[in-house]
Chain A
Amino acid sequence: MIRSQRWKGAAFTVPFQLGFVFLYLLPIGYAVHQSLFLQKQSGLGLGGATTEFVGLENYQQGLTDSAFMTSILRVVLFACVQIPFMLVISLVLALFLDAVTAKVAGRFRIMLLVPYMIPGVVAAIVWINLYSPEVGPLTPLGALFGFDWNFFAPSMVWPAIGNLLTWHGIGYNMVIIYSALQGVPRELFEAARLDGASELRIALSIKVPFVRGALILTALLSIIQMLQIFNEPALFRNISPETVSDSFTPIMIIYNQAFNAANYNYAAALSVLLALILGVASFLFYRLTSREAD
């Protein structure tokens, strides 16, 4: 390729590069910069605040902030339960779709994808009303079978949110896994059938290993999302502030520090910490799953 042409090619990416600098790099740099300072009230707090350089003090505080660390632990534990649960259902449904004729699969796929079309906030609003003891049908339905469940009780908040996330995520993850399944060479099944393998055996020994990559990817995407979970607990808090505290998830704490406590510096340090944790978690997960493959 001619030299001048290369530079013209680079020019196509200039608008993006400029935007990336102003909307990604600059904000991140600004956040890191802010995280190194602290607003200190002088005297009685009436003389106005001064901003002082405090080095890594905010980070030190963040790492020993029990509310922040608890929220991370809470979200991680929840992720360990909800993500495998959701992905197993998605995988089973993808295998089911793969086992029926194309026409039937097409119809079910549309129905199973309906939740994906609904914005997360709206999905949360709908489920919160379904859970509601006043207007929701789930409470009388439970009573019919002898359950007396209160979805807004502290012990039920995570199952309630977990169900909402699972409902919202199954279709999307199923489609990704299903399209990976389409890539399995069909001859393998014929050969296995000739050898007398059952359909279940074929699914477990041929299909599932084949879609491992898709499973790892959907798990990784889910982990990244889960560590940043905000909408669902925020909406639950809207309805039931006594069960969902304002420090329920890491992002909720960051939001509160920034906008309710007006402590941007600390919020900036916490968001940098969260980014680091997210990076480490993704890296570890990736290493763990790809090492197993070899």
Chain B
Amino acid sequence: MALTESRKENGTETAAGPPGGRTVRRLTSPDPAARSRGGQRFVLLGLALASAYSLFPVYWLMIAATKDRVGLYQSNGLWFSDFHLWDNLQQVFTYEDGIFLRWTANSFLYAGVGSLGGTLIALATGYGLARFDFPGRGVVFAAVVGSFLIPIALLTLPLYLMFSKIGLVDTPWAMLIPCLINPFSVYLAKVYTEAAIPFELLEAARIDGAGELRIFFSIVLRMMTTGGATVFLLAFVNTWNAFFLPLTVLRGQENWTLNLGLYNWSGKRLESGIDVTSLVLTGALLSIIPMAIMMVAMRRYWRSGVTMGALK
């Protein structure tokens, strides 16, 4: 057996997966000497081509964001022409009294606050489902899993009608409230609790006289930082990327998200004859940045989250 090296991701040696060794970490890597050099070259070429395909649109977007109108329409799309990034940025931030900044703040508000609340509720629910055997537990869990199959339109349209009856449509609440209940987060939280919180620990805390609430807030939540961060991150990404819900429940543009604003801008080009292509492209590039920073900074969490959610 080729026991060469253990697989480590870019030097992060601390457990990337949830505690308890749920993700199977492989101990051996394939011995490169065992395969033909031609085969290796073919594999590397395939990976390089696929990477080029993955990166090409982002590369083009970065180049396009540095061009003015003339450059966009007339210069070679694959390389820089005159450098107008600062002008474009200024245009994005000042267009319609800086509405872009408003949209950015809204996206952060909905994704940040909504996901924080949703994560807390999900962790409590996941803990309850994973560590207590109460009547109806199966029903709750079945509801969680079953709701994965509900089409978004089936929920969003009646929600819109209900919200409009109580005057919530076109307010931040119309975005925040639905984010609080996220079945996928609950599902992940349950899986993480099962991996991270041993029964014995809970028993020991109870024998020491700690109340259930205290156990949850001062022991369970603290031990669930990895799982909680993953749940939060995935919920944040989900809300940041949401489109159908904000399109339905937000009407006035001062409450819009970045996605909705960019969608509106990209349609404008056609409707009113003004060319806002560079506005849209620079805005699109800017809207990727928070997501990219977040994903890279928290990559050890979301990787485990992506695979956990899929494999359990």
Contacts of B226 in A (CB 8 A): none
Q: A15-B121, A119-B291 are in contact. Are A258 and B149 (CB under 8 A)?
A: no
- Determine if B161 is an interface residue (Cβ-Cβ < 8 Å): yes
State whether B241 touches A23 (Cβ < 8 A): no
Contacts of A179 in B (CB 8 A): 23, 307, 310-311
Complex: how many Å from CA A144 to CA B292? 34
Given B7, B77, B124, B269, which contacts A16 in the complex, CB threshold below 8 Å? Answer: B124
Complex: how many Å from CA A99 to CA B40? 8
- Determine if A72 is an interface residue (Cβ-Cβ < 8 Å): no
State whether A112 touches B51 (Cβ < 8 A): yes
Using CB atoms, name the residue of chain A closest to B308: A179
Contacts of B28 in A (CB 8 A): 186
Contacts of A117 in B (CB 8 A): 288, 291-292, 295
Using CB atoms, name the residue of chain A closest to B29: A102
State whether B212 touches A8 (Cβ < 8 A): yes
Q: Which of A10, A115, A176, A187 has most chain B Cβ within 10 Å?
A: A10
Complex: how many Å from CA A230 to CA B280? 20
Encode A204-248 as 1/0 by CB contact (under 8 A) with B: 000000000110011001001001101100110011010000000
State whether A16 touches B122 (Cβ < 8 A): yes
- Determine if A199 is an interface residue (Cβ-Cβ < 8 Å): yes
Grouping DSSP codes into helix (H, G, I), strand (E, B) and loop, the B interface class, with mixed when no group exceeds half, is: helix
- Determine if A84 is an interface residue (Cβ-Cβ < 8 Å): no
Using CB atoms, name the residue of chain A closest to B11: A106
Q: A100-B43, A119-B287, A125-B266 are in contact. Are A170 and B244 (CB under 8 A)?
A: no
State whether B54 touches A27 (Cβ < 8 A): no
- Determine if B273 is an interface residue (Cβ-Cβ < 8 Å): no
Encode A93-130 as 1/0 by CB contact (under 8 A) with B: 10011111110101010011111011111110111111
State whether B132 touches A9 (Cβ < 8 A): yes
Q: A20-B181, A126-B57, A135-B73 are in contact. Are A12 and B127 (CB under 8 A)?
A: yes
State whether B134 touches A23 (Cβ < 8 A): no
Complex: how many Å from CA A264 to CA B269? 31
Contacts of B50 in A (CB 8 A): 89, 93, 108, 112, 170
Contacts of B2 in A (CB 8 A): 186, 190
Contacts of A5 in B (CB 8 A): 132, 206, 212
Contacts of B132 in A (CB 8 A): 1, 5-6, 8-10, 12
Contacts of A129 in B (CB 8 A): 64, 277, 280-281
State whether A125 touches B124 (Cβ < 8 A): no
On chain B, the number of residues with a Cβ less than 8 Å from chain A's Cβ atoms is 107
Q: How far is the CB of A39 from the nearest CB of chain B, in Å?
A: 13
Contacts of B53 in A (CB 8 A): 167
Given B26, B149, B178, which contacts A182 in the complex, CB threshold below 8 Å? Answer: B26
Complex: how many Å from CA A221 to CA B8? 29
State whether A12 touches B157 (Cβ < 8 A): no
- Determine if B81 is an interface residue (Cβ-Cβ < 8 Å): no
Q: How far is the CB of B147 from the nearest CB of chain A, in Å?
A: 6
- Determine if B207 is an interface residue (Cβ-Cβ < 8 Å): no
Q: How far is the CB of A6 from the nearest CB of chain B, in Å?
A: 4
Complex: how many Å from CA A59 to CA B150? 18
- Determine if A62 is an interface residue (Cβ-Cβ < 8 Å): no
Which residues 255-294 of A have a CB within 8 angstroms of B?
Answer: 255, 258-259, 264, 267-268, 271-272, 274-275, 278-279, 282
State whether A238 touches B181 (Cβ < 8 A): no
- Determine if B19 is an interface residue (Cβ-Cβ < 8 Å): no
Given B125, B266, B310, which contacts A235 in the complex, CB threshold below 8 Å? Answer: B266
Encode B2-35 as 1/0 by CB contact (under 8 A) with A: 1001011110000000000001111111101011
Contacts of B77 in A (CB 8 A): 135-137, 140
State whether B58 touches A114 (Cβ < 8 A): yes
State whether A274 touches B153 (Cβ < 8 A): yes
State whether B24 touches A182 (Cβ < 8 A): yes
State whether B186 touches A16 (Cβ < 8 A): yes
- Determine if B143 is an interface residue (Cβ-Cβ < 8 Å): yes
Contacts of B183 in A (CB 8 A): 20
Q: Which of A126, A230, A235 has most chain B Cβ within 10 Å?
A: A126
Contacts of B95 in A (CB 8 A): none
Complex: how many Å from CA A115 to CA B54? 6
- Determine if A26 is an interface residue (Cβ-Cβ < 8 Å): yes
Complex: how many Å from CA A183 to CA B7? 13
Given A93, A100, A136, which contacts B40 in the complex, CB threshold below 8 Å? Answer: A100
- A16-B124, A19-B121, A199-B35 are known contacts; what are 13 more A-B pairs with Cβ within 8 Å? A10-B136, A12-B125, A98-B30, A111-B54, A126-B58, A135-B277, A179-B307, A183-B24, A217-B310, A228-B152, A239-B269, A274-B151, A275-B150
Q: Which 3 A-B pairs have the closest CB atoms?
A: A9-B132, A137-B77, A12-B128
- Can you list 20 A-B contacts (CB < 8 A)? A10-B135, A12-B124, A12-B128, A16-B122, A93-B47, A96-B47, A101-B29, A112-B47, A118-B58, A120-B241, A121-B241, A122-B259, A122-B262, A135-B64, A137-B60, A176-B311, A179-B23, A199-B35, A224-B148, A264-B161
